């Protein structure tokens, strides 16, 4: 069997994003701003483009067992994003960034790497308590 071409992979990734990413998502990153008094304050800045879309699903029990040391008993979700999308300043999403999706604010914990061809970028994220 021949490997798939880059064009075929891009088509698969695009089709998956359209099928799965059906929720508006805002991605935020903590930034430090100097306050002029020798210290800094932390703020959350939006780094995602307008209209950025994501999908959400419940993680499997096995996945929760594998990453229990990271998320403990937090309410967790798999957040699925279009593969390879960069945020502001051409940076990828990182651990401890935030997703705001459908009234939930989630903190990113672990990027789940695919074992074969990457179709979507998938993050294990936990809902933050209000």
| Choice between 32 and 1, residue whose per-residue pLDDT is larger | 32
Given a cut of 80, whether residue 70 has pLDDT beyond it is no
Closest to 117 measured CA to CA, from 8, 32, 42:
8
Residues whose CB is less than 8 angstroms from the CB of residue 108 and which lie 6 or more positions away in sequence, other chains included: 79, 93, 94, 95, 96, 97, 98, 99, 123, 124, 125
The predicted pLDDT at position 35 comes to 81
Average per-residue pLDDT in the chain?
Answer: 88
What is the rounded CA–CA span in Å between residue 86 and residue 69? 28
Per-residue confidence band for 60, with pLDDT thresholds at 50, 70 and 90: confident
How high is the pLDDT of residue 2? 62
Contact 44, 97 (CB under 8 A): no
Per-residue model confidence as pLDDT tens digits over 96-119: 999 999 989 999 999 998 777 788
Q: How confident is the model at residue 63 (pLDDT cuts 50, 70, 90)?
A: confident
Write the class of the CATH domain 24-127.
mainly beta
């Amino acid at each position: 069997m021949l490997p798939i071409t880059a064009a075929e992979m891009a088509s698969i990734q695009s089709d998956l994003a359209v099928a799965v990413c059906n929720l508006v998502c805002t991605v935020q990153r903590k930034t430090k701003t100097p306050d002029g008094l020798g210290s800094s304050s932390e703020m959350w800045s939006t780094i995602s483009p307008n209209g950025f879309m994501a999908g959400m699903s419940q993680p499997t029990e096995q996945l929760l067992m594998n990453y229990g040391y990271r998320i403990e008993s937090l309410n967790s979700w798999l957040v699925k994003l279009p593969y390879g999308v960069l945020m502001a300043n051409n940076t990828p999403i990182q651990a401890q960034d935030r997703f705001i999706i459908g009234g939930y604010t989630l903190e990113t914990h672990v990027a789940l790497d695919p074992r074969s061809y990457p179709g979507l970028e998938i993050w294990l994220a936990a809902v933050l308590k209000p």
